[in-house]
């Protein structure tokens, strides 16, 4: 069987006129950084990489050693290539400028270097999420303002999943394509073309320990699912919660379902739990490209106008019919 590498896939996308050489090279670098993070993640305790780094990130959360390492890998890998005007990371407070000794380019790169990091020390899947925007052509030097574009403006988005195998999942606005890392060869091999979220679903993902803090429409929706056959849905639903968004979304992309980190009383003061620019937007683009939907309950995630880099939003995404049902419950409330 002929094996197609990520490199070959990207060159073919460029030839087909779906992206520029600059974007292709940028995505190559992001994928290479994902391999480097994968190597570190998989070493675990052998490399002394588990546990806290002893520092807090911009959101005041304790950083794990691997959070810091993954962030450094991504920043360093992407600084010198000449494709970027600037970067923004969940782990860094302000815009990361390209050092003066390197050329700059026309794209902005955003990432959550290690998502689900509470899972690192217990050897459960974690991931890296990224999003690519265009640098507004009218601006000379990137500022936080340059990044304030709604998610529908993304030119590419994706994630790396560090699970039993390492995967790289990507969209450039023409479907969702997944690659599996061949560790011996050191290349990502094209394994799942055009991932499509199945319409029919019997699975939901939500941190149910927050049930008493949820808003009424979410309580109603989950309550109906939990009634199973006896309730208004007339069928039994199953629940899964990895607490690594990348792993949970990957399952939704693979076999359907709905993933929710909705607004609740605990996170209301900050607007939600998950970050719009590093988590919600890239995942929403992937899910829509796979035929699903992504909403805050009140609006389409990709239409949310950001007003700060580390903004948070409620997230409800997955199989279209389920997301629309939650939206309806919000409208009715
Ligand atoms: P992180 O970026 O600090 O790792 O937080 C994001 C993670 C998501 O991956 C996951 O869906 C969620 O937080 C889990 O939250 P909780 O521990 O409240 O269930
Ligand atoms: Mg994180």
DSSP labels, 267-319: TGGGT-SEEIIIIIHHHHHHHHHTT-EEE-SSSBGGG---SSTT-EE-EEEES
Q: Considering only CA atoms, which residue is closest to atom 16 of ligand 1?
A: 243
Structural contact between residues 258 and 316, judged by C-beta atoms closer than 8 angstroms: yes
Measure the CA–CA gap between 266 and 54, rounded to whole angstroms. 25
| Rg of the chain in Å (alpha carbons) | 19
Tell the residue nearest (CA) to atom 2 of ligand 1: 115
Of the ligands numbered here, which is closest to the C-alpha atom of 59?
A: 1
> Residue of the nearest CA to atom 4 in ligand 1?
116
| Domain of residue 222, CATH code | 3.40.190.80
Ligand number nearest CA of 243 is: 1
Say whether both 104 and 174 belong to one domain.
Answer: yes
Q: Is the pLDDT of residue 315 over 80?
A: yes
Read off the tokens for 7.
Answer: 């490199």
230 plus 153 within the same structural domain: no
Closest CA to 64 of 75, 74, 51: 51
- 141 and 258 share a domain? no
Q: Could you give the number of structural domains in the chain?
A: 2
Same domain for 208 and 188? no
User: Does residue 37 sit in the same domain as residue 140?
Assistant: yes
- pLDDT greater than 80 at residue 305: yes
* 106 and 223 share one domain: no
The preferred substitution site among 130, 261, 262 for testing ligand 1, maximizing ligand atoms within 8 Å of CB, is: 261
304: pLDDT strictly greater than 80: yes
Phi, psi dihedrals of residue 136, rounded to the nearest 5° = -55, 125
Q: Give 127-182 pLDDT, tens digit per residue.
A: 999 999 999 998 889 999 999 999 999 999 999 999 999 999 999 999 999 999 99
Q: Which domain range does residue 247 map to? A: 203-332
Binding-site residues sit at 90, 112, 114-118, 207, 273, 279
- Give the phi and the psi of residue 213 in degrees, each rounded to 5: -95, -10
Do 63 and 115 share a domain, yes or no? yes
Read off the pTM: 0.96
Residue 1 covered by a domain: no
* pLDDT tens-place string over residues 266-291: 999 999 999 999 999 999 999 999 99
Helix (H, G, I), strand (E, B) or coil at 113: strand
* Residue 133 host element (H or E): strand 126-134
Per cent of the chain over pLDDT 70 is: 99
The verdict on 97 and 235 lying in the same domain is no
Q: What are phi and psi of 100, to 5 degrees?
A: -60, -25
Distance in angstroms (rounded) separating the CA atoms of residues 172 and 27: 10
Question: Taking CB atoms and a 6 Å cutoff, what residues make up the pocket around ligand 1?
Answer: 61, 112, 115-118, 207, 243-245, 261
């Amino acid at each position: 069987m002929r094996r197609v590498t990520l490199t070959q896939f990207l060159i073919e996308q460029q030839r087909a006129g779906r992206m520029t050489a600059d974007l292709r090279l940028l995505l190559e670098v992001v994928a290479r950084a994902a391999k480097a993070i994968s190597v570190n993640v998989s070493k675990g305790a052998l490399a002394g990489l588990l546990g806290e780094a002893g520092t807090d990130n911009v959101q005041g959360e304790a950083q794990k050693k691997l959070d810091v390492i993954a962030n450094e890998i991504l920043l360093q890998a992407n600084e010198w290539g000449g494709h970027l005007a600037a970067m923004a990371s969940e782990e860094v407070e302000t815009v990361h400028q390209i050092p003066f000794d390197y050329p700059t380019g026309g794209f902005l790169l955003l990432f959550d270097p290690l998502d689900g990091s509470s899972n690192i020390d217990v050897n459960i899947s974690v991931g890296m999420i990224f999003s690519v925007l265009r640098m507004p052509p009218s601006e000379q030097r990137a500022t936080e303002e340059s990044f304030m574009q709604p998610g529908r403006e993304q030119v590419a988005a994706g994630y790396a999943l560090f699970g039993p195998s390492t995967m790289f999942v990507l969209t450039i606005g023409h479907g969702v394509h997944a690659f599996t890392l061949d560790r011996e060869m050191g290349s990502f091999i094209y394994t799942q073309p055009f991932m499509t979220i199945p319409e029919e679903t019997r699975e939901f993902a939500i941190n149910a320990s927050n049930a008493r803090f949820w808003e009424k429409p979410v309580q109603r929706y989950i309550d109906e699912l939990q009634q199973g056959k006896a309730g208004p849905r007339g069928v039994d639903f199953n629940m899964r919660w990895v607490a690594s968004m990348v792993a949970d979304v990957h399952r939704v992309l693979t076999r359907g379902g709905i993933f929710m980190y909705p607004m609740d009383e605990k996170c209301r003061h900050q607007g939600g739990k998950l970050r719009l620019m590093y988590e919600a937007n890239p995942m929403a683009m992937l899910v829509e490209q796979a035929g699903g939907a992504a909403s805050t309950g009140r609006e389409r995630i990709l239409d949310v106008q950001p007003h700060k880099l580390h903004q948070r939003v409620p997230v409800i995404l997955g199989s279209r019919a389920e997301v629309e049902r939650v939206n309806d419950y919000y409208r009715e409330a």
